[in-house]
Amino acid sequence: MNNSEQKMDDDQGNCKRCGHPLEPHIVIAYDTNDFSKGGEMRCQIEDCDCISTISFNLTKE
Kindly state the average pLDDT of the residues 40-50: 94
Confidence of residue 49 (pLDDT cuts 50, 70, 90): very high
Q: In whole numbers, what is the pLDDT of the chain averaged over residues?
A: 87
Q: Is residue 60 part of a domain?
A: no
Using 50, 70 and 90 to split pLDDT, how confident is the model at 5?
low
The answer to whether residue 46 is domain-embedded is yes
For 28, list phi and psi in degrees, rounded to 5. Answer: -125, 125
Residue 49 lies in a domain: yes
Tally the domains of the chain: 1
Strands in the chain per DSSP E: 26-29, 39-42, 51-54
Decide: helix, strand or coil at residue 4. helix
User: Rounded to two decimals, what is the model's pTM?
Assistant: 0.68
Quickly state the pLDDT bin for 59 (edges 50, 70, 90): confident
20: containing domain: 3-54
